[in-house]
Amino acid sequence: MTGREPVGLATESRTAKAVESFAVYGRDTGGPFVLVSDHAGQAIPAELGDLGVCATERARHIGWDIGIDGVGRRLADALPAVLIEQVYSRLVIDCNRAPGHPTSIVRESDGTPVPGNQGLCAQDIAWREQVILHPYHDRIRRELSARASRNRPTVVVALHSFTPVMRGKARPWHAGVLHNKDSRLAHIMLDLLRHEGLTVGDNEPYALTDTSDYTIPVHGEQRALPYIELEIRQDLIAQPEGQAAWAERLARLLPQAWRAFCDRYGEDTP
């Protein structure tokens, strides 16, 4: 698989129009990493207009994880590895939330109201889940199941970015490593990143939990796969130079982290 894979056609659209809900980049050359990016996209289905949110607001961190698309695609090329990216804005539905979660479809985000998300009926919500959420997670599931059927060692790497200032408070970390029940690979990666001279949050700016997150709990922890959930501060990767620098760093450190993990725990030991 090289470049964009035009798949992910939804069959449940109420306009019967094909909608791509995810994109696949990079290629599988035998390495352990599968990259996923829940908040990489900014698209909104035509049926939903602009959700009543102006372009400037949609371009803020509330609409997507600024810069992570550029990091993810470069990293997929550099490792190389497969990257599965959500193409729709998190304002339409948050693909790192369980269906029905209170912040799955937000009515406001960081002070910005989202009129198009007000007063939705069950059918409206189900449509977004069927067209956007499920096809993306099904694609990740297929990738991981195919690897499991061939007994391939697999590490799920979830890529995110975070806003430098939240509610008036500056965030000091260059990056954060998030973990939940299995912290083994996270701790190795944390040490490697700190060794680069970076300020790295340990479950900061967010802690990974079963309820606040969806992708890693479902695709990593429920499958007992080692994983890394990474958050990079958005001002560091807003431009191509920063994206390239972070992709280069991660392409270097992720294999180091995996080798250290295998030395310590063995690659078959989830």
Q: Which residues bind Zn ion (CB under 5 A)?
A: 39, 65, 160
Minimum separation from the CB atom of position 206 to Zn ion (A)? 9
Q: Which is nearer to Zn ion, 58 or 160 (CB)?
A: 160
Q: Is the dihedral of CA 205, 206, 208, 213 positive or negative?
A: negative
Q: Which is nearer to Zn ion, 79 or 232 (CB)?
A: 232
Q: Which is nearer to Zn ion, 204 or 267 (CB)?
A: 204
Q: Which is nearer to Zn ion, 37 or 117 (CB)?
A: 37
Minimum separation from the CB atom of position 65 to Zn ion (A)? 4
Minimum separation from the CB atom of position 113 to Zn ion (A)? 21
